[in-house]
């Protein structure tokens, strides 16, 4: 790579190195004009462009130019300042995206697990404020059914048994229902239901063990347990409530160079889903 292809900047004392083509993504911006020596405010000193602006916020400017999308940390709060910086550099598509602050801010997500024991069976119902989280969790949980030789919680699972996976009950997009344990079917046959929760490969039949694995999986996925309570003492329904900050959908710019546009970028706004 030749020295002409690299550009060195000192923004508020923070040093950046990038390609000239990255700064020229939007030809009418001040950064593109700087590279073309067409903006007298940006001075070249000892091979570096000196820019008297906020260096920390400029890192987000650079990330946008490299990826053409806005993806900010969950604890980010300087939306107006970053929008002002985008306007200063003439990056108006970025400033337009930042004006939609409500789409970029992370949102509080609530998840509730209800658990009850009835004889030799355990019942689970999971409610979530975000349907995509419930969909992702439903892909992790599998219920298997098969004939059980023993009749207790601790009857061991045998790899020789033929188990059939069952679909989870989905009353709505925001909840799911499943159960585990043993019960009787027609002809006094003992039917067992095992639960597996990825990435753990075990097939568990004991409701308390399944509950422990489920809660541990949610904690590892970034949820925080905020309360436990008994919903219905007669039925012994326990309720575990979790919360986490869900990263918002990123906003992206699709740039197309069209004939006759004199190199001016045509921007189209779109949304990109980030994480679960």
The pLDDT tens digits of the residues spanning 114-172 come to 999 888 899 999 999 989 899 999 999 999 998 755 545 455 445 446 789 988 999 99
Examine the domain organization and report whether 83 and 124 are in the same domain. Answer: no
pLDDT at 94 over 80: yes
Q: Does residue 44 sit in the same domain as residue 167?
A: no
Q: Is residue 267 part of a domain?
A: no
State how beta strands 121-128 and 141-147 pair.
unpaired
Query: Do 114 and 212 share a structural domain?
Result: yes
Q: What is the pTM of this model?
A: 0.60
Cβ–Cβ contacts within 10 Å for residue 37, how many? Answer: 9
* Helix, strand, coil % in the chain, rounded to nearest 5: 25, 40, 35
Q: Which pLDDT tens digit goes with each residue over 171-221?
A: 999 999 999 998 866 556 788 999 999 999 999 999 999 999 999 999 999
Same domain, 143 and 216: yes
Q: Looking at the structure, do residues 101 and 116 belong to the same domain, yes or no?
A: no
Question: Are 16 and 65 a contacting pair, CB within 8 Å?
Answer: no
Residue 44 makes CB contacts below 8 A (sequence gap 6+) with 37, 50
Q: Are strands 121-128 and 175-184 parallel, antiparallel or unpaired?
A: antiparallel
Helix/strand/coil for 254: strand
Query: Does residue 238 share a domain with residue 115?
Result: yes
In a domain, 259, yes or no: no
Same domain, 66 and 167: no
Highest mean pLDDT out of 85-89, 165-169, 229-233 = 85-89
Domain assignment of residue 254, yes or no? no
Q: Which domain holds residue 116?
A: 109-149+161-246
Residue 156 in domain: no
Residue 255 in any domain: the answer is: no
Q: Could you tell me the two tokens for 148?
A: 């059980």
Query: CA-CA distance, 194 to 135, in Å (whole number)?
Result: 20
Q: Based on the fold, state whether residues 94 and 117 are members of the same structural domain.
A: no
58, two tokens: 């400029």
The pLDDT of residue 75 is above 50 = yes
∠ at Cα 46 (43, 50), nearest 5°?
35
177 and 235 share one domain? yes
Q: Are 134 and 141 in contact (CB under 8 A)?
A: no
Is 256 among the domain residues?
Answer: no
The domain tally of the chain equals 2
Residue 39 sits at the vertex; the CA angle it makes with 37 and 44, to the nearest 5 degrees, is 60
Kindly report the number of other CB atoms within 10 A of residue 199's CB atom: 7
- The two tokens of residue 15 are 């040093």
Please indicate, yes or no, whether residues 114 and 68 belong to a single structural domain of this protein: no
- One domain for residues 229 and 129: yes
| Residue 71, domain member (yes or no) | yes
Residue 255 CB neighbours (<10 A)? 13
Contacts of 9 (CB under 8 A, 6+ apart): 15, 16, 17, 18, 48, 49, 50, 51, 58
| CATH classification at residue 67 | 3.30.710.10
In a domain, 265, yes or no: no
């Amino acid at each position: 790579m030749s020295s002409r292809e690299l550009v060195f900047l000192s923004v508020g004392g923070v040093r950046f190195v990038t390609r000239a083509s990255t700064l020229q993504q939007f030809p009418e911006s001040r950064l593109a004009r700087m590279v073309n020596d067409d903006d007298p405010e940006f001075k070249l000193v000892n091979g570096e462009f000196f820019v008297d602006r906020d260096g920390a916020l400029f890192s987000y400017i650079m990330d946008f130019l490299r990826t053409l999308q806005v993806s900010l940390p969950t604890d980010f709060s300087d939306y107006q300042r970053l929008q002002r910086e985008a306007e200063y550099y003439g990056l108006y598509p970025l400033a337009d995206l930042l004006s939609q602050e409500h789409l970029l801010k992370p949102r509080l997500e609530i998840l509730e697990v209800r658990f009850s024991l009835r004889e030799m069976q355990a019942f689970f119902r999971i409610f979530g404020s975000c349907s995509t989280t419930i969909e992702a969790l439903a892909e992790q949980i599998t219920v298997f059914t098969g004939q059980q030789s023993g009749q207790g919680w601790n009857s061991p699972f045998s790899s020789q048994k033929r188990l059939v996976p069952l679909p989870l009950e989905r009353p709505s997009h925001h909840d799911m229902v499943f159960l585990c344990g043993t019960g009787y079917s027609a002809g006094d046959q003992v039917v067992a239901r095992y639960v597996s929760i990825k990435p753990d490969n075990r097939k568990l039949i004991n409701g308390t063990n399944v509950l422990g694995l489920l809660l541990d999986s949610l904690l590892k996925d970034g949820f925080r347990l905020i309360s436990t309570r008994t919903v219905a003492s007669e039925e012994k329904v326990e309720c575990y409530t979790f919360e986490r900050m869900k990263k918002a959908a990123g906003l992206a710019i699709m740039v197309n160079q069209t004939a006759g546009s004199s190199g001016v970028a045509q921007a189209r706004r779109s949304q990109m889903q980030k994480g679960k």
